[in-house]
Structure 1
Amino acid sequence: MPPLASPLRGVVPPLCTPLTPEGEVDTVSLRALTDHVIRAGVHGVFVLGSSGEAAYLSDARRRTAVATVVEAAAGRVPVLAGAIDMTTARVLDHARVAAAEGADGLVATVPFYTATHPVEIADHFRRLRDGTGLPLFAYDIPSAVHTKLPAATVLALAEDGTLAGLKDSSGADGPLRRLVVELRRRDLDRTFSVLTGSELAVDGALLAGAHGVVPGLGNVDPHGYVRLYEHARAGRWTQAAAEQDRLAALYSIVDVGEESLMGRSSSALGAFKAALHLLGVIACSATAAPQVPLDDTAVKHVQGLLSAAGLG
């Protein structure tokens, strides 16, 4: 595999992790899913992100997922592996396993559970980068870790080469735009990759200067996100907006689960997996415990939204 592109550009779906009814990683389905998105023209894959249920999986299952995706990708696109845990020591363990299994890059959040100072955050990422030598992407997801990654820290770690890029799932479009502007001003945008984690505002992020997108919905409709990205790269903004509008309507699948019965993670990840099962990509739509499975009514709603989007 050639070195990871700098900056990494394009569509990099955060792969779901198909499971058996018993909760084991369904390696056959995971290989099929990896092939499904690569054949659609994506530019990389990200295993063990939020859409991959990394937080729910045992260490052994995480390792199986990374090894399976690396094998299935077979050098066709780079594989980013999530190394997500509460402390630096735990994250380093995951990072070294991912490196040993052949991942091309790592994705990590700030430490969590206890509040973390910017000095500690910077030290955390520097230790991770030194621990494996792999390109490292910061994952800004304050909804999960309860800390917003400071822009000043990102800029400092971009300048000293600690970070190869940022996956921004903060939902804060204004601060992201200001970060992109400052990266450009410092001439860092030529080497540091900004990837939006928003499925719904990809066209705007690309217009602002982001390099790509990491869309959970890209598991279900990778072709759509590839078309959107290609329209944007070619300056076809009207077509990009139309594709974004279609994907925004499809994204309604994340809300099919009844709120009185389940959390939003159960609804969203259950819907992604139900869609993949309906499309014949994976064998089983099971999610990891203790998430609540979708009922038949919700699955029928998923089917209707797939049909409306021109899928299935």
Structure 2
Amino acid sequence: MWATLLLPLDADDTIDFVRLEAQLDHLTKAGVDGLYVHGTAGEFQTLTEGEYDRINDLLAARTDLPFQIGASHPSAQLQLDRVRRAAALRPSAIQVILPDWLPLSAGEALAFLDRVAQAAGGVPLVLYNPPHAKTQVWPEQLTDLARAVPALIGLKSAGGDAEWFARARESGLSLFVPGHFLASMTPLGADGSYSNVAALSPAGSVRWYELIEADHRAALDVERRIAEFFAGHIAPLQARGLSNPALDKFLAAVGGWADAGTRVRWPMAFADPELVGPARVTAQRLLPELDEGNW
């Protein structure tokens, strides 16, 4: 169960690093297995290179937990440069996406990952391949990539059904899936999550993961209630066009553990803070197992 840093933004879209440090300190004590930065929830595509480096330096200096750094960027060239700089901090792994303006052929995807692995200098790679990626990597291609690029150790994706997992497991990679599906996907072959449930409640997500291992039936009931909460308070925001970063920040505001706010960077829209209170009431009712004393 891995948790991400969320950008606390002031009204002018600048990052409040004091609040970011407080968030990092909370996550370090929450019991999660590791921390990561610069995924979708971290709004990586909006960062200047100076902001990118400052967040990386903060993470590396202030946590003893395993940590991963996302080097993702729509540009292959800028992404390669981020990989080099991230590798110098010796993270547990570096997360990358396939360049995202045009779809890549299988050969182009392999050429990209091969050069990224060289730039990473021995730091392992995790391929982030969400449903909205221009280039979708299917299980058979994933196996080919894993064999050709030994540095590739994991996949961060939406997962799939039993057949998808059976084929994806042949790659030998660790398969990480969305947090709110972790209980149902673990028996299929999921290894863990870079978790949106941790955005709602870092310590609660850890307790839920422990429940998945100890009492799967009970854990599935928690997942059912997470889905009920999402249907009532997250799906309407999705239907209005809010992005995944906006949804994750809304979850953190509902959880009350982080002072990250609901604002995401221009031009993306964000949730009205007035919606946090009603959602918190529902979370208190449906998900008492996830409360870490902030609701």
TM range (shorter): 0.7 to 0.9
What is the CA distance between 1:150 and its match in structure 2? 2.7
What is the CA distance between 1:251 and its match in structure 2? 3.5
Q: Which amino acid aligns with 1:79?
A: F
> Can you list the C-alpha shifts for 1:36-84, whole angstroms capped at 9, x where unaligned?
23322111111010111112222222222222222221x2x21111111
Q: Check if 1:81 corresponds to 2:58.
A: no
Distance 1:267 1:231 in 2: 28
Q: 1:217 to 1:288 in 2, by over 3 A?
A: farther
Distance 1:173 1:31 in 2: 38
Q: Which residue of 2 aligns with 1:5?
A: none
What is the CA distance between 1:112 and its match in structure 2? 1.4
Q: Any residues of structure 2 matched to 1:221-260 within 5 Å, and which?
A: 221-234=201-214, 236-252=215-231, 253-255=233-235, 257=237, 259-260=239-240
Distance 2:224 2:144 in 1: 36
What is the CA distance between 1:22 and its match in structure 2? 2.5
Distance 2:235 2:225 in 1: 16
Distance 2:258 2:207 in 1: 20
Distance 1:141 1:228 in 2: 24
Distance 2:33 2:42 in 1: 18
> Cα RMSD (Å) of the superposition?
2.4
Q: Which residue of 2 aligns with 1:62?
A: 52
Q: Which residue of 2 aligns with 1:3?
A: none
Distance 2:160 2:236 in 1: 25
**Aligned with 2:21 (options 6, 31, 38):** 31
Q: Which residue of 1 aligns with 2:258?
A: 281
Q: Could you say what secondary structure the match of 2:234 adopts?
A: helix
Q: 1:101 to 1:286 in 2, by over 3 A?
A: farther
Q: 1:301 to 1:176 in 2, by over 3 A?
A: farther
Q: Which residue of 2 aligns with 1:135?
A: 124
Distance 1:201 1:57 in 2: 29
Q: Any residues of structure 2 matched to 1:157-168 within 5 Å, and which?
A: 157-160=145-148, 161-168=150-157
Q: Could you say what secondary structure the match of 1:207 adopts?
A: coil
Distance 1:176 1:242 in 2: 24
Q: Check if 1:108 corresponds to 2:96.
A: yes
Q: 1:20 to 1:99 in 2, by over 3 A?
A: farther
Q: Which amino acid aligns with 2:153?
A: A
Q: Could you say what secondary structure the match of 1:16 adopts?
A: coil
Q: Could you say what secondary structure the match of 1:70 adopts?
A: helix
What are the ranges of 5 or more consecutive residues in structure 2 without an aligned counterpart? none
Q: Is the 8 A contact 2:155 2:175 kept in 1?
A: yes
What are the ranges of 5 or more consecutive residues in structure 1 without an aligned counterpart? 1-10
Q: Which residue of 2 aligns with 1:294?
A: 271
Q: Could you say what secondary structure the match of 1:142 adopts?
A: coil
User: Given the two structures, how large is their TM-score scaled by the length of structure 1?
Assistant: 0.82
**Aligned with 2:6 (options 1, 8, 16):** 16
Percent identity over the alignment is 22
Q: Which residue of 2 aligns with 1:194?
A: 175
What is the CA distance between 1:174 and its match in structure 2? 4.8
Q: Which amino acid aligns with 1:147?
A: T
Q: Could you say what secondary structure the match of 1:238 adopts?
A: helix
Q: Which residue of 1 aligns with 2:186?
A: 206
**Aligned with 1:53 (options 43, 60, 66):** 43
What is the CA distance between 1:123 and its match in structure 2? 1.2
> Can you list the C-alpha shifts for 1:220-275, whole angstroms capped at 9, x where unaligned?
212232123223334x2112212323433343543354855x53446514413433
Q: 1:132 to 1:283 in 2, by over 3 A?
A: closer
Distance 1:258 1:166 in 2: 25
Q: Is the 8 A contact 1:15 1:216 kept in 2?
A: no
Q: 1:269 to 1:109 in 2, by over 3 A?
A: same
What is the CA distance between 1:13 and its match in structure 2? 1.8
